[in-house]
Amino acid sequence: MSFVSIIIPVFNQLHYTRQCLESVWSTTAGHDLEVIVFDNGSTDGTLEYLRSAQASQPALVVQHSDKNLGYSPANNQAAEIARGDRLVLLNNDTITTPGWLSALLAPLEHAAVGIVGARLIYPGREIINHAGYVYSSRLNSFYLLYEGVRRDFPAAQKTRQFQAVLGACVALRRADFNAVGGLSDFGLEDVDLCLKLRNRGLMVQYHPAATLYHYGQMTIRNSPTGSIPVHSSREFQEHWPPSRLESDDLRYYQEDGVVPHYTSSGRIVAVSGEPQFQSLLGAISQRTLSPEYLTPGNCRVIVEGCFGNPLVLMELLQILVECRAAEGAALFCMHWHMYMPSLPEPLLYGAKLLEKLGHHEQARDLAARGLGMGYLSDEERNEFRSIGRF
């Protein structure tokens, strides 16, 4: 069994770091490993916690910088002292699950595989965060394939090759990491790393048997402006112009039997190609759907045809409200909730619509159910409380 170095860069966010490390310790029994945490100048007690944790966790290695060097330099410096011939780059806002590490490392037993990415799920919401990166020539950018769909979506269960995988949890050989110069210090550094490995003839593999939870960008979201080095994607685009990239998103949709839907916000999401659904979707998008067509059966067709994805369903709900179809929109929310019971959005938007229609008791009931959900952001919790007058 290979010796593994797990590298976790951190800047404040002690809650997430502690949660991540505790999950790592509980899910890696039997592995020969070290966990290198690079503290990027935290001021919230993170460094003190890490040094204290070393007393009970001899596999924990702590590096510290007095100032925030940024994500890539932190990973690169940690890799310089890593003893493992396998590296795992792990974000501190992840939660590991049983079997994740063995599954993540297994593909590297094949010499042709250069880097492996995990299936990442949004905690509490049970929807996909990462199931592979795809590139769109229409958008001139990479985006996360199937972000927002239910975690059991069949296409997200396929082991497959991509141009890139999300760097929140990846495994690769230390020798390959060093051979391509580690992580570049500019935007989209994880995509750049994958493309550099592909240039060396190595495959980039998504392996859903390795599953973790990932909150996503918690350090950036919770840090004051100016406290984190920020890089644009300009330098990435100079290194990787469109002529060097494959516009591959539509190929994956075709392989998986789904079709792309282009939202008004400029996003591309996968939806069903089933004719009844496409007819309803077109009527809503073009604002020609009569409210009487929002029957329970049609609501179910729409929700399931969007695979429960809030990125598109919230847009459709807004159109229904603008078209004065609030009654149907509230029914729509109920079917969405039945299809995606772990998602707060259906209850929140349904409660808002019922409140607007004057159905205060029903709105209060939905708000109470929403407050009982396991994972809510502070903003969502406060909105439920406001609607229900709790």
What residue ranges do the domains of the chain occupy?
4-251, 258-388
**Whole-angstrom Cα distance, residue 126 to residue 168?**
17
Q: Give the pLDDT mean for 333-338.
A: 90
Q: Give the pLDDT mean for 172-195.
A: 96
Predicted pLDDT of residue 225: 61
Q: What is the pLDDT of residues 229-271, one digit of tens each?
A: 667 788 999 999 999 999 999 999 999 999 999 988 888 999 9
pLDDT at 223 over 60: no
For residue 26, CA distances in Å to 49, 57, 96, 361 come to 18, 12, 9, 45
Predicted pLDDT of residue 220: 60
pLDDT exceeding 90 applies to what percent of the chain?
A: 71
- Residue reference for tokens 């927002």: 148
Predicted pLDDT of residue 322: 81
Amino acid code (one letter) for 111: A
**Whole-angstrom Cα distance, residue 302 to residue 316?**
10
Mean pLDDT of the chain: 92
Predicted pLDDT of residue 209: 98
Please check whether residue 252 is in contact with residue 142, taking contact to mean a CB–CB distance below 8 angstroms. Answer: no
**Whole-angstrom Cα distance, residue 103 to residue 299?**
39
pLDDT at 227 over 70: no
pLDDT at 388 over 80: no
Phi-psi category of residue 255: left, alpha or beta, with phi > 0 → left and psi -120 to 50 → alpha: alpha
The pLDDT-based confidence of 323 (bands split at 50, 70, 90) is confident
Q: What is the CATH number of domain 258-388?
A: 1.25.40.10
Q: What is the pLDDT of residues 123-140, one digit of tens each?
A: 988 899 999 999 999 999
C-alpha count within 13 angstroms, C-beta hemisphere, residue 311 = 24
Q: What is the pLDDT of residues 29-45, one digit of tens each?
A: 999 999 999 999 999 99
Angle of CA points 45, 51, 53, to nearest 5°: 100
Predicted pLDDT of residue 352: 87
**Whole-angstrom Cα distance, residue 387 to residue 368?**
9
For CA atoms 356, 359, 363, 366, give the dihedral sign: negative
CATH of 4-251, one of 3.40.50.620, 3.30.420.40, 3.40.50.1220, 3.90.550.10: 3.90.550.10
Q: Give the pLDDT mean for 48-75.
A: 95
Angle of CA points 219, 223, 224, to nearest 5°: 160
The pLDDT-based confidence of 320 (bands split at 50, 70, 90) is confident
pLDDT at 361 over 80: yes
Same fold across 4-251 and 258-388: no
